[in-house]
Amino acid sequence: MKSFQSFRLDTTNHCLWSGEERVRIAPKAFDVLRYLVEKPGQLITQDELLEALWPDTHVNPEILRKYILDIRKLLGDRPNQPLFIETIPKRGYRFVAGVTDDGAAGSQFLPPGRLPTQPKRRFVPKRSRHGRRVLGVRVDCIS
């Protein structure tokens, strides 16, 4: 688990936390953030990120910019006064926030009462407009 300011990046369970709230983040955006957080203070070129996250695949560098923008929105970061991700024009990105490694056990820093579990799948019964029971809808829940 990596911590920076009020955020925790749970690399074991692939989760981002802000305080006790889980932050929804796309899987590839998580991978980009993880790569940057694991190398704080280091200049990471676009080519390095693309090669690390999409090996043997040609990816338009614009997709990387999109993920950086998405991450900045989630973290409340601003490109002109970065708290987390600094853009080095024509060179790459640098994670500028202080990072602490809270150990390998990802579950030890989850909010109280929360365990790293797989989502429970259950069916919620639906009723037709005539009051008859119809097929349910699957809902993924994390309790």
**pLDDT tens figures, 4-38:** 999 999 999 999 999 999 999 999 999 999 999 99
pTM above 0.95, yes or no: no
Cα(70)–Cα(81) distance, rounded to whole angstroms?
A: 16
| 133, two tokens | 């029971």
Cα(82)–Cα(84) distance, rounded to whole angstroms?
A: 6
pLDDT of residue 127: 54
| 9, two tokens | 């990046």
Task: Look at residue 107 and tell me whether its pLDDT is greater than 60.
Answer: no
For residue 107, give the 3-state DSSP assignment: helix
Cα(23)–Cα(17) distance, rounded to whole angstroms?
A: 5
Class of domain 2-107: mainly alpha
Q: How confident is the model over 131-138, as a mean pLDDT?
A: 50
Q: In this predicted model, which residue has the larger pLDDT, 107 or 40?
A: 40
The backbone torsions φ and ψ at residue 126, rounded to the nearest 5 degrees and listed phi first, read -115, 155
Model confidence at 79, pLDDT cuts 50, 70, 90, reads confident
H or E stretch covering 21: strand 21-23
CA angle 15, 137, 22 (to 5 degrees): 15
